[in-house]
Amino acid sequence: MKANELRINNLVDRVDYICNVKAIDEDGVILEPINYKGEVSGFQELKPIKLNKKWLVKLGFKHIGKNDYAIDVSFDTQLIICSDLHFIFQDVFDIKIFTTFSGRKIQYVHQLQNLYFALTGEELKIEL
């Protein structure tokens, strides 16, 4: 992974356990594994977490049909992750505000966290 892909509070796979990113500097990443105190790790040791149905549910998305999942972003807007991992941002009138840019898919948990944060200014809450 590249440092410019990460933000504070992104979830990453440290090969043998899932961690929260607590800080990023020129030396690497300070991680907080989900059950004990943080440690310093180099970027080359980190692996992105592959986005799948299980992770969508853990992040608060609800199954809305076929293989599509949605989360309410505001009282009238949803972020939808489609079965092919493309995303749609639409309002209650089904007006698509935007869809995936340039065919880019959301493949990893940290990408979804970053997109959600960019849209709402809030972190996705994880239910482990």
> Is residue 126 a part of any domain in this protein?
no
Phi, psi angle pair for 121, to nearest 5°? 75, 10
In a domain, 128, yes or no: no
Q: Judge if 31 and 64 occupy the same domain.
A: no
DSSP per position, 89-106: EEETT--EEEE-GGG---
Helix (H, G, I), strand (E, B) or coil at 98: strand
Domain check: are 57 and 41 in the same one? no
**Is the domain of 113 the same as that of 65?**
yes
Looking at residue 29, its pLDDT comes to 86
Residues 10 and 61 in one domain: no
* pLDDT beyond 80 at 15: no
The tally of domains found in the chain comes to 2
pLDDT by residue (tens digit) across 44-102?
677 889 888 889 889 888 888 888 888 888 777 777 777 666 777 666 666 665 555 55
Instruction: Tell whether 40 and 94 lie within a shared domain.
Output: no
Say what the pLDDT of residue 10 is.
Answer: 92
Cross-sheet strand order for the sheet of 39-41: 11-13, 18-25, 28-33, 39-41
- Please tell me whether residues 34 and 68 are part of one structural domain: no
User: Do residues 13 and 72 share a domain?
Assistant: no
Confidence at residue 35, expressed as pLDDT on a 0 to 100 scale: 61
Report the C-alpha gap between 44 and 70 in whole angstroms.
32
Do 71 and 104 sit in the same domain of this protein? yes
pLDDT at 82: 76
Mean pLDDT of the chain: 78
Domain hosting 65: range is 53-120
For residue 8, give the nearest of 16, 25, 18 by alpha carbon.
25
In percent, how much of the chain has pLDDT > 70? 76
**pTM exceeding the 0.85 threshold for the entire prediction:** no
| Bridge partner list, 50 | 108
